[in-house]
Structure 1
């Protein structure tokens, strides 16, 4: 990218990129990504968490209704309790999968307004995110299958765990290579396969940089997931369900913006869009 210059203070200095939102419209450094994630939480965190909570509440009501309906149609109280448990656990797993997909879709929807400094509402975020969930969820599942599929197939074949050790670097490499796919699916509306290809193109040449930002965010999320319930009890569980799915997606989303700025000159398009 050609550097532009402006005359200020009696000399020629590099032209300062505008910053209408949470990050400057230029290639982002580590401080920009971390500061942008904190700024996004400070500016949009309430509406973001409200939208996530509303989506989770609707999903929780559906889970409870499904488990209750399965119990009602069971033949006896004893078998009804077993049916309730057998339905509730898979439904709870689907609830967690839905929460992760919803959080990623919400961040993808929020990226452009946050970068441009525009206002959003919780219902507006939720409506836009719900339309993107199928593509985001497909990208998440496909990326997980690509990274963990070989190891899962080896385990299913009955191979000993030691055989899986050589597959660990491959799984890690694929996991990072496709880490931006869910954000790309939500931001650009790509199908799951197209989102994986998009992530691979954006990460290529910046694998270590992507790993350096995604791995600490995931580690911090896992640590907080254990710590919050242990420290705060039920309020900690509720806080973990709302906050933890969102946090790792913010650095990933800003990293996606950075890669597009570096590879595709996205800053110019955003600058023209932000201009009055």
Structure 2
């Protein structure tokens, strides 16, 4: 999606390179940039949520020594995609309400306190960021619970809240370390590619930046495609860590290792569609395809 939208992005940049751009062209360029950022953000958020949900299944099945093909993973996960998207909508709605409250309180502080409003806004913003991080860690294993336990979006939130109780700092440290590793993976690939693209622009002899940008569209598209590929690998690693974190938290709180050993013995060495925890009170068995 990012590669496909690059043409629209470059046409928007072209407007700012003009000597005397009209008001309508500036508005159109800003709208184009907004569309690019919005579409890319929504697609990335949905893709990451679905990725995390689907990858829970093969990683959790690997715990009981069961291999999972791509088709099998999709067959086991497809019935849970809509509840997973429902969880995403709930998270988005909660974040939007929080943002509106933050903006509204800040606006009231500015109108009422004027110069001294910073004494209210700054602590408020810091507190909102801390609260956002705390809630995000509390809900980090909700997609895994939703996919493996057959519960709904709200029940998965309560399950994640319960599993992370007493393990917040440990979970926070694992999530932060995983995010750092993912960032390093993405940076190692994107930095040299970005440098190569800057060299292409630097060696250009044209006085106008627009022809260079349009002529370099294939190089920019290739850069974005390669960066997206290795970023996806990093996010897959992050989703895998989250899946194992869910299993680990259940072992620590619910003795899940005993259930896993029993299911490993029952599954044997042959291929099955079993999901870890399917024989417990919180688990489910996926329906067989008709």
Question: TM class by shorter-chain length?
Answer: 0.5 to 0.7
Q: Does 160-169 or 255-264 show the bigger shift?
A: 160-169
CA contact (8 A) 2:182 2:231 kept: no
Out of 89, 92, 95, which is 2:40 matched to?
A: 92
- Number of residue pairs matched by the alignment: 202
Partner of 2:67: 119
Partner of 2:53: 105
C-alpha distance in 2, partners of 1:109/1:214? Answer: 20
CA contact (8 A) 1:136 1:183 kept: no
C-alpha distance in 1, partners of 2:232/2:72? Answer: 18
Partner of 1:142: 90
Q: Residue deviations 1:5-59, cap 9 Å, x none?
A: xxxxxxxxxxxxxxxxxxxxxxxxxxxxxxxxxxxxxxxxxxxxxxxxxxxxxxx
C-alpha distance in 2, partners of 1:270/1:177? Answer: 24
Cα 1:167–1:92, aligned 2, differ >3 Å: closer, same or farther?
closer
Query: What is the Cα deviation at residue 145 of structure 1?
Result: 5.0
Give the 3-state SS of the residue equivalent to 1:190 in structure 2: coil
Partner of 1:189: 150
C-alpha distance in 1, partners of 2:106/2:74? Answer: 43
Query: What is the Cα deviation at residue 238 of structure 1?
Result: 3.4
TM-score calculated relative to the size of structure 2: 0.59
Query: What is the Cα deviation at residue 175 of structure 1?
Result: 1.4
Q: Residue deviations 1:206-263, cap 9 Å, x none?
A: 1111111111112332343344222343463132343132121111111110111122
Cα 1:203–1:119, aligned 2, differ >3 Å: closer, same or farther?
same
Out of 107, 119, 133, which is 1:172 matched to?
A: 133
Partner of 2:236: 246
Q: If you compute each CA radius of gyration, which structure gives the higher value, 1 or 2?
A: 2
CA contact (8 A) 2:163 2:253 kept: yes
Q: Residue deviations 1:168-195, cap 9 Å, x none?
A: 3222221111111111112212211111
Give the 3-state SS of the residue equivalent to 1:245 in structure 2: helix
C-alpha distance in 2, partners of 1:127/1:231? Answer: 39
Q: Of the two structures, which has the highest relative contact order with CA contacts closer than 8 Å and spacing of 6 or more?
A: 2
C-alpha distance in 2, partners of 1:216/1:152? Answer: 31
Unaligned residue ranges in structure 2 (runs of 5+): 9-24, 108-117, 194-222, 269-290
Please tell me whether residue 204 in structure 1 is matched to residue 170 in structure 2. no
Q: How does 1:36-51 map to 2 (within 5 A)?
A: none
RMSD: 3.2
Query: What is the Cα deviation at residue 116 of structure 1?
Result: 1.1
CA contact (8 A) 2:60 2:247 kept: no
C-alpha distance in 2, partners of 1:225/1:156? Answer: 36
C-alpha distance in 2, partners of 1:150/1:185? Answer: 24
Q: Residue deviations 1:124-145, cap 9 Å, x none?
A: 2233333322222332443455
C-alpha distance in 2, partners of 1:141/1:84? Answer: 25
Give the 3-state SS of the residue equivalent to 1:120 in structure 2: coil
Query: What is the Cα deviation at residue 158 of structure 1?
Result: 4.0
Query: What is the Cα deviation at residue 150 of structure 1?
Result: 2.8
Q: Does 138-147 or 126-135 show the bigger shift?
A: 138-147
Q: Does 217-226 or 102-111 show the bigger shift?
A: 217-226
TM-score calculated relative to the size of structure 1: 0.62
Out of 233, 248, 271, which is 2:261 matched to?
A: 271
Cα 1:120–1:226, aligned 2, differ >3 Å: closer, same or farther?
same
